[in-house]
Each structure stands twice: as C-alpha cells, then as structure tokens.
Amino acid sequence: MLPIALYVINQATLPFVDFTLDEKGKALPFSSIYSIAGELDGHELKSTRPFRSPHYNMSSHALIGGGPYAKPGEVTLAHRGILFLDELPEFGRKTLESLRLPLEDKKVTISRVSQTNRYPSDFMLVAAMNPCPCGYAGTSKCECTPYTIKTYRQRISGPILDRIDMQKYVGRVDFSDGHLMSGTISSASLRNTVMLTRERQRHRFRKAGEGITTNSEMNSTQMRKYCILDDECAALLQKTYERDSLSVRARYKTIKLARTFADIDASERIQKTHLLKALFSRDLEREMRHA
C-alpha cells in the first residue's frame, strides 16, 4: 500500500492536460480575478489555465478568500484550472471542511460589513497523501499502529471524501521501471486520449444545445438522457449502493465517471466494464467504510 492519490507534483507532471485557454475571450475573466487578488504580473492578460499548489499550513481564509477587502482565495485563483493539495491530511480540519461549498456550488460568497463579494470557484481538485504518518504502510518499515493509521486517514472527513470523484492507491515503482523510465503508455498518448474524450463530450452537448461541455456539469435531467444504464448495470449499482451505504452524491458521481470511461472507449452506451471502473475508483472511501 503506497501513497493515495490523484498524484501530481506540478504543472510539468501533467503533460496530458491542456492548460491553454481553448476559446477567445476567456483570458479577461481569468486576468480580472488575478488583478483583484493583486497577482497579475505586469499588464499582460493570463494566457493559460491556473495551477495552484498552496502549502498545507495555509488558513481557511487564504483558501476560500477573505481579509478586510474580501479578496479571492486559492479556490478562486484556481478557477477553471487545477487546485493541488499535497499532504492532504496535514491541512487543518477547518481548512479542508471549508472546501465543501466551493466543490459543490462552484462559487464562494465572502461577506464583510461594508460589502459582499461573490467569486467563481469551478476548479479541478487534485490531492495526494501518504497511506500513514510514516509513509510506509504495508511494508516492513512501517511503525504505525492500526489506530494511528485510522486516526490519520480520518483527518479527511466523509463529506470531503464524498465530493472527490476518484481516490486511488499508487503502486510502488520497481527500480528497473524507475531507472529506465519505461511505461506502456506515454504522456503524449494520454494527452491525446484526454483531448479526444473531452471533444466527444463537447460535441455531444453542443449538438444537443445543453449549454455544458463536460460530463461533470450534467444535472439529473441530463444524466437520465445521456447516462442510461441497462438492467445489469442498474442492478450492480444498486447492490453496491446498498452494500456500501453510498450517498446520492456518490451515486451520481459514479454514474458520471462511468459515462466518462465510456467516452474514453468511444462507446455510445455505458457498459458493465465502464461502471466497474467507476465503482473501483473510490479506494480510500471504500476502505474506510469497511474498516
């Protein structure tokens, strides 16, 4: 058992993600946000999507926004980009819990006596953590007790885990693989897959005039239209839903993720394999439920 992730270090480790702004006119809103926060360099507009990686000792005000002038925080500075939280359990409980509404509503409201500011916060949350305080859980080097490990992981509350679509353990890299930098899938191939999948989603929703571009933006009505499950898939989802006591939010996220796996395979319908991949994408939550 090794680090729990959607694991990235910095923007350079995400060569399969397109950080360029895909439509003209989008640079102004990005630049306006950074101008208000006092982080716009010179007079040039932002030309790339943001990648924010704050330290875990930050306060909830720095994350969400605040101060005497109600300035935007990291969740807004990461709008339409990536917010990367490394060492997730080391963030303060209050700080992590403040992510609930931004992750759900895609916006934040900061109120002061003299003013109320509303900022956008539609970002992709990427986080990483060790499996235990010493980092060696599952190996002979680990000195943590089961209680210590459980307490460490419980620093991330159920409601926060519920809002994270994918939670995966990262396997150990063998010396030969790390030394030779070998792999069956290249970053260029991954990037091509991501871009093709996003284009399939964009084309589907644009053709139907839905006003959205990705699966994650679907509401319940749109899900009933584009995420049809056959009887076998519906039975599998219901069985898992009841066995693991999943929330309605987790159920919807699982279906949307299954739709994305189907898009990766260029499949018109969600197949059982796509649903299984989605169901097995919540490692940490599933482990904590059965602990």
Q: How far apart are CA 32 and CA 49, in angstroms?
A: 13
Hey, CA dihedral for 66, 70, 71, 73, is it positive or negative?
A: positive
Parallel, antiparallel, or unpaired for β 82-85 and 51-52? parallel
CB 275 within 8 A of CB 233: yes
Q: Indicate the pTM of the whole model.
A: 0.85
Handedness of CA 245, 170, 75, 20 (dihedral sign): negative
Q: What is the pLDDT along the chain (291 residues), one digit of tens a residue?
A: 444 444 333 333 344 455 555 554 566 677 788 788 777 776 677 778 889 999 999 999 999 998 888 889 999 999 988 999 999 999 999 999 999 999 999 999 988 877 888 999 999 999 999 989 998 888 888 999 999 999 999 999 989 999 999 998 887 766 665 555 555 677 788 888 989 999 999 999 999 999 999 999 999 999 999 999 999 999 999 999 998 888 999 999 999 999 999 999 999 999 999 999 999 998 888 777 766
Q: Residue 84's closest CA among 65, 104, 63, 66?
A: 63
Residues 6 or more apart whose Cβ sits within 8 Å of residue 21: 27, 30, 46, 47, 48, 49
Q: HSE-up of 175 (CA within 13 Å, CB side)?
A: 0
